[in-house]
Structure 1
Amino acid sequence: MIILGKNKALRADIIMLIAAAIWGFAFVAQKDAAETMEPFFFNAARFFIGASVLMPLVWYLSKRNTTSIKKEVSTKKLLFAGTVAGLFLFTASSFQQVGIEFTTAGKAGFITGLYIFFVPLIGIFLGQKTNSGTWLGGFLAIIGLFLLSINEDFSIEKGDLFQLICAVFFAAHILVLGYVAKRMDPLKLSLIQYIVSGFLSLIIAIAIKENIGWDAIIITAVPLLYAGVMSIGIGYTLQVIAQQHAKSSHAAIILGLEGAFAVLGGWLILDETLTTRGFIGCMLMLIGMLLSQLLPNLSLKKAS
């Protein structure tokens, strides 16, 4: 039984690593798409694609008719929770896609990854306890962000600032999901939030008169399909499967590699480079994000 448990944990770690790689390379797809497709129309298209990928899985699991307390939640509550989550997801994704036009895929990946630190920080204002690990990790992450994004005149690039705002909203989105996902079907919840985010993005795209048409979709087909099918549809599904057996400490480490994969993808595909200062900043941010997640877990283990 112990060996079986280890195999499940190892398989979960491998699946989570694949998900982190998919999400990391998605920044490359988003950066590439920014050249040929306007941000809100791109987000609308990829969320609708992601929803269409997830829909058959939701339908299949519903047909299996497995008993679950989460299924007893009314449709009204499910729709409300999905709409609230969709609002946060829409806001975070909007800042991310608008900002990525003005920064590199690698920097966008690392700065967005700061949501790992912002989650416990925002939790403080919601009455959740924190500890020295969170503050130490946050301090290192801020130094890393300074080295990566702050110029000599102490100004921050527009794209990097948007990614930072995006990280805050992603953290709020995670906290919302952390509360409601325990009470209802997470896949149905995700499907609703994708549809809500897609419609909101499409409404804004029409309102600000973005170039909406098949020409943009055809030209951007490859990065669009990757961002929709792989990042949203498959990536999320892999995460759900993996987290059934993954340890939280392992998840923090592996998902934290998303930024590293973004840098790798930017270097391999887009010929992006990092200065020595930027590389050190990335490493400090990664260490800080991991410490903010791992030290609380280590403290709990020692206490028990």
Structure 2
Amino acid sequence: MTHTRESAPMPQGKVTAILVFTTVLWGGSFLFNKIGMREIPPIQFFFFRFALAALLMGIICIPRLSRLNRDIVRRGAMVGVALAAVNLTFVLGVSGTTISRAGYLNNLFVLFIPLISFLIWRERLDRITFAGVFLAVAGLWELASGGAEGFNRGDLLSTVCAVFIAIHIITVSRVLRDEDVYLVTFVQFSTVALAGAAITLAMPWPAFTIGAAGGWSLAYCAIFPTVICFTLQNAFQRFTTPTKAGLIYTLDPVWSMLAGVFILGERLTPRELVGCMLILVAVAGPLLGRLYLEQRHRRLYHLDDVEEA
């Protein structure tokens, strides 16, 4: 998370368009993970993706490496551990369920952020968030009841992934300050790659061959939803509010579902579709409520300024 600059001279249309573009790339990562893991086991795919991303980010950071210091390494590594947990549960979750279901389950991170903040720091939970949690539980029930396998292992891991996404976002907002974004990102990716290497070395190495589909999938996931998306997010999210950014990011599962239906031929039962829609409303509803309150507060603040003038 980066700090918001509400008065920054950046056209909001451009910011919105770029952040929407990142959701398209992130949505595509569900598809390419699924395709790539037909050839490459999930743990190895996770490791190769971030090893390649760290290499590419290292090349980008060559002119900046002289600024790398112990504090950047410490903070980047802390955030990197959370990112490793996110992506490990992500690949294991996607490998065990449809990308349509995984996309919506991952999106629950928006609700987990205030819940975790309440449990750890006793930050106040508003009624809108409570309503969102209730709808999300109803959506999960519909997903569990509508699928042939019920709420399976992949669904559970995708939900756990949402918890780790929330932890990662909270960690970024509380750990990072004014460090060089590129160097911090490089350390993050390197930490994830090292975690992947440790896991793969600790486990038996399965026999597999990387073909064209696996290779292109790895390249896509390392470059677009990793290097490019993290850079764009860090560069442009600061020019909008967290609420608006969160609303834009709810598009992720929409793209993943479209890719699952039209490219992989996935089909959702009516109850699964209802469950996905309930989760989308559960996530987007509280964000829309907060956006309304933010705009109302700005209007009232503006009126007060006009009256004082």
TM-score (norm 1): 0.87
1:49 corresponds in structure 2 to 52
Letter in 1 for 2:54: A
Quick one: which of 231, 234, 254 aligns to 2:228? 234
Letter in 1 for 2:75: A
Q: Structure 1's 229 and 299: CA in aligned 2 closer, same or farther, altered over 3 A?
A: same
Conserved? CA contact 2:31–2:259, under 8 Å: yes
Any gaps of 5 or more consecutive residues in structure 1? 66-70
Q: Is 2:103 the counterpart of 1:103?
A: no
Report the identity percentage: 24
1:35 corresponds in structure 2 to 38
Segment drifting more, 22-31 vs 152-161: 152-161
Q: CA deviation at 1:27?
A: 0.3
Give 3-state SS (helix, strand or coil) of 1:126's partner: helix
Tell me how far apart the structure 2 counterparts of residues 89 and 16 of structure 1 sit (CA, whole Å). Answer: 20
Q: CA deviation at 1:206?
A: 2.0
1:147 corresponds in structure 2 to 142
Give 3-state SS (helix, strand or coil) of 1:273's partner: coil
Quick one: which of 185, 205, 214 aligns to 2:200? 205
Tell me how far apart the structure 1 counterparts of residues 180 and 125 of structure 2 sit (CA, whole Å). Answer: 28
Quick one: which of 188, 195, 218 aligns to 1:193? 188
Moved over 6 A (4+): 4-7
| Partner deviation per Cα, 1:236-278 (whole Å, 9 max, x = no partner) | 1121222132333321221110010000111122111112211
Q: Is 2:173 the counterpart of 1:178?
A: yes
Q: Structure 1's 254 and 153: CA in aligned 2 closer, same or farther, altered over 3 A?
A: closer
Q: Structure 1's 7 and 196: CA in aligned 2 closer, same or farther, altered over 3 A?
A: closer
Conserved? CA contact 1:47–1:228, under 8 Å: yes
Segment drifting more, 86-95 vs 103-112: 86-95
Tell me how far apart the structure 2 counterparts of residues 256 and 101 of structure 1 sit (CA, whole Å). Answer: 22
Any gaps of 5 or more consecutive residues in structure 2? 1-6, 302-309
Tell me how far apart the structure 2 counterparts of residues 293 and 268 of structure 1 sit (CA, whole Å). Answer: 29
Letter in 2 for 1:278: E
Question: Considering only aligned residues, what root-mean-square deviation do their CA atoms show, in Å?
Answer: 2.6
Conserved? CA contact 1:16–1:254, under 8 Å: yes
Conserved? CA contact 2:147–2:269, under 8 Å: no
Q: Structure 1's 58 and 212: CA in aligned 2 closer, same or farther, altered over 3 A?
A: farther
TM-score (norm 2): 0.85
Tell me how far apart the structure 2 counterparts of residues 84 and 150 of structure 1 sit (CA, whole Å). Answer: 38
Q: Structure 1's 293 and 102: CA in aligned 2 closer, same or farther, altered over 3 A?
A: same
2:306 corresponds in structure 1 to none
1:68 corresponds in structure 2 to none
2:242 corresponds in structure 1 to 248
Q: Structure 1's 283 and 36: CA in aligned 2 closer, same or farther, altered over 3 A?
A: same
Tell me how far apart the structure 2 counterparts of residues 290 and 208 of structure 1 sit (CA, whole Å). Answer: 40
Q: Structure 1's 217 and 211: CA in aligned 2 closer, same or farther, altered over 3 A?
A: farther
Conserved? CA contact 1:46–1:227, under 8 Å: yes
